[in-house]
Amino acid sequence: MTLRQDMLMVEEELNRLLTTMQELRIRVDALEVQNSRLLERLMNQNVQDEGTENLTSLYNEGFHICPMHYGQNREGEECLFCLSFLKGENQ
Amino acid sequence: MEINCQKEDILMGIQTAGRAISGKNTLPILGGILIQAQNNSLNIKSTDLDIAIECSVVADVVKEGELVIADGRRFIEIVRQLPEGNINISAMNDFDLTIKYGESSLNIRGFDGEQFPLLPGREGDIHGNMAAEVFNRMVREVAIAAASDESRPIFTGILIDIQGENVIMVATDTHRLAKAEGIWQGDDQIKVVVPAKTMLEITKIAAGEENIEITISKKHICFVMGNTVFISRIINGQYPDYEPIMPKEEQYKTEVSVAKKTLLNSLSRASLLARDNNSIVKLNFTQNEIVMTADSPDVGNIKENIPANIEGEYFQTAYNVRYLIDALKVMEGENILMRLTGVITPGIILPQEEKNYTYLLLPIRLSNQ
């Protein structure tokens, strides 16, 4: 492989990483806002040892509670993993 | 570089390899096709750095060499329009190319072959074979459930889960999950996630082939079908454990057996109205029939009675009609089985005659539930 090839691949990879970083930054910002809102709500409720209830109500309010997408908006659709997680919590 | 070959041979090769030509303009060379003349064959390669395709065709090599045709897509169009018969391709200088056909000729711009990115190798830790027909069936059956939302990359992929002599493919967008099983001959135990779009591309190349040779390394997966090699990146990340979300045997309350075509036709009609109402179709499982209803506030409503054999509890539930249609379209056999756990809890749909496909689907929770 020539040096030029190496440079081209590095440049392409860098571009890709920069785009990904930018997308991630936007996503992280959105999640931080969402998380602080959720935390604030939980604090205001001043509820302890009511994890499952909180999770259920969060889910019913339209947020993911599964570990993969916790706190993200479900956009009106049900989630197999959230329901499975809730079922596990209830048992 | 100079070769003589038949138009149909090179056209087949560039059409196959050309599937990996990059549509993005980030690197001009990725819009090109690399051709390498050596050992009485012409190797044709293209890549968008996510996938790479290499195809070999028979050619009479007069002088060995390689170069990149700058506009790969245009080259395919040009070759397609050439008259049938023998064509001669030769390098004019270091970069450009002359194509001679009959008494005519045309020139095409190129790049130095040395500039083309080095494609990943075919080596890997896990190696095995699948019947192409089985591979294509499995991909077709599960790809429908993969997410199209790129913000969750892991769900845009198909999980290939090799367990001894079995290979399981799984895809989910978290609202539904499709799982297909098949036979694997080779090394055991590995899980990799491959983009669903890539897998669907492979099925197009594998159509008509008997066998697919698969090699898996840490970063790539390589598929060899006849004279074509297809290499794809693997999606990084942990695929969620899908087993806990599958209902347990004791949870099933209702079992519905219904003719697939009848149900599919009814759902297709319902979808025309349901699309104005969040794609909601209601299915009322009652004695010997499914009463299907859907409505659109501005267009109208539909009600159909579909004969079915129903055992267990009777109830009404709602689904996204598109999700049901997607599943029925890819399922084999004449009859399907719906095994349901309740009004708002997930149920499965599977072909009645075959047990190697399962489609898990969540009902839609209506506002009054």
Neighbours of B106 (CB within 10 A): 11
Alpha carbons A5 and B34: distance in angstroms, whole number: 14
B27 with A12: Cβ contact below 8 A:
yes
Dump pLDDT digits (tens) for B43-102: 999 999 889 999 999 999 999 999 999 899 999 999 999 999 999 999 887 778 999 999
A4 with B115: Cβ contact below 8 A:
yes
**For position B307, what pLDDT does the model report?**
97
For the cut 60, the answer to whether the pLDDT of residue B298 exceeds it is yes
Residue B183 phi, psi dihedral angles, 5° rounding: -100, 140
> Which of residues B284 and A33 earns the better pLDDT score?
B284
CATH code linked to domain B2-115: 3.10.150.10
CATH topology for B126-244 is DNA Polymerase III; Chain A, domain 2 (3.10.150)
For the cut 60, the answer to whether the pLDDT of residue B351 exceeds it is yes
**For position A45, what pLDDT does the model report?**
59
Residue B324 contacts residue B267 (beta carbons within 8 Å): yes
Alpha helices per DSSP H over A1-91: 3-45, 51-60, 80-90
Mutate to test the interface with A, among B174, B241, B279 (most CBs of A within 10 A): B174
Q: Pick from A5, A68, A78: which is nearest to B240 by CB?
A: A68
* pTM of the predicted structure, to 2 decimals: 0.83
Q: For chain A, what percent of residues have pLDDT higher than 70?
A: 84
Enumerate the β-bridge partners of residue B186: B128
Alpha carbons B150 and B121: distance in angstroms, whole number: 27
Alpha carbons A66 and B127: distance in angstroms, whole number: 34
Q: Decide if B2-115 and B247-361 have a common fold.
A: yes
**For position B170, what pLDDT does the model report?**
98
For the cut 60, the answer to whether the pLDDT of residue A48 exceeds it is no
**For position B243, what pLDDT does the model report?**
92
For the cut 90, the answer to whether the pLDDT of residue B118 exceeds it is no
Mean pLDDT computed over B144-158: 92
Q: Which of B16, B217, B232 is nearest to B139 (CA)?
A: B232
A80 with B117: Cβ contact below 8 A:
no
**Chain B partners of A11 at a C-beta cutoff of 8 Å?**
27
Q: Domain ranges in chain B?
A: 2-115, 126-244, 247-361
Written as six digits, the tokens of B193 are 């996630």
**Chain B partners of A88 at a C-beta cutoff of 8 Å?**
244
**For position B27, what pLDDT does the model report?**
84
Q: Is the dihedral of CA A27, A28, A29, A35 positive or negative?
A: positive
Strands of the B51-58 sheet, one edge to the other: B110-112, B65-69, B33-38, B41-47, B51-58, B228-233, B220-225, B211-216, B126-131, B185-186
CATH topology for B247-361 is DNA Polymerase III; Chain A, domain 2 (3.10.150)
**For position A46, what pLDDT does the model report?**
54
The DSSP result for B41-106, as a single string, is EEEEEEE-SSEEEEEEEE-EEEE-EEEEES-HHHHHHHHHHSPSSEEEEEESSSS-EEEEETTEEE
- Residue in B closest to A24 by C-alpha: B151
**Within an 8 Å CB–CB cutoff, is residue A1 touching chain B?**
yes
For the cut 60, the answer to whether the pLDDT of residue A71 exceeds it is yes
**Within an 8 Å CB–CB cutoff, is residue B240 touching chain A?**
yes
For the cut 60, the answer to whether the pLDDT of residue B150 exceeds it is yes
